[in-house]
Chain A
Amino acid sequence: AQKVTQAQTEISVVEKEDVTLDCVYETRDTTYYLFWYKQPPSGELVFLIRRNSFDEQNEISGRYSWNFQKSTSSFNFTITASQVVDSAVYFCALSESPIRYGGATNKLIFGTGTLLAVQP
């Protein structure tokens, strides 16, 4: 079965510290997509990144970086020099493969989320 595990329920850091949010996934598919979403205290879900299973290059966007390692089935998210505005719940998600189900599919399987609190 496909599954996403975010073992860190809550993380608390002090502003300017670096922090890594872990995401481990399980899938039998060879083609899949991984996502990170941010949910700030206001409650909306904000898309951060999408990565497909064929692209293991790490990605950096400003203070955010993502480390995708198929060998360990992990897609970890690092925030460098954290800020109070980074305080949010972060969700990792896995998208099922179209080939396996014989057609289009775009369903997301979410992890349980990691609450990041950045203290000033």
Chain B
Amino acid sequence: DAEITQSPRHKITETGRQVTLACHQTWNHNNMFWYRQDLGHGLRLIHYSYGVQDTNKGEVSDGYSVSRSNTEDLPLTLESAASSQTSVYFCASSDGLAGLYEQYFGPGTRLTVT
């Protein structure tokens, strides 16, 4: 069965370190997204991609970067982790255009920055 996976599921890191969160989907979806979930804010969009070599900034992109070298993967990098980036991170993917298709979410990565 097709799926979307994230790794690691839990990560503790120190302030200032670079961290990369992996996202891999086997749906063959063109669209991929990274969100962070914080209490009182719901899910907020960090970066998104509509295809290979395409990346775009979302609502809360400062301090994060992504790259899309193939259809299946969209890794999220925290260049220099900050305590404000302690959060639960969700990757999602969808097919098609214009909100016509729902997004499928990964299981999430809980990141703690100490």
Contact = CB atoms under 8 A, between A and B. Distances in A.
Interface of A: 4, 6, 31-33, 35, 37, 43-45, 47, 50, 52, 91, 95-98, 104-113
B42 A106 contact: no
A44 B108 CA distance: 7
Interface in B56-114: 58, 88, 90, 92, 94, 96-105, 107-108
B99 A32 contact: yes
Nearest to B105: A45
Interface residues of B, number: 28
Contacts of A111: 42
Nearest to A43: B108
B41 A44 contact: no
Nearest to B100: A33
Contacts of A109: 45
Contacts of A106: 31, 33, 50, 94, 96-101, 103
Nearest to B108: A43
Contacts of A6: 42
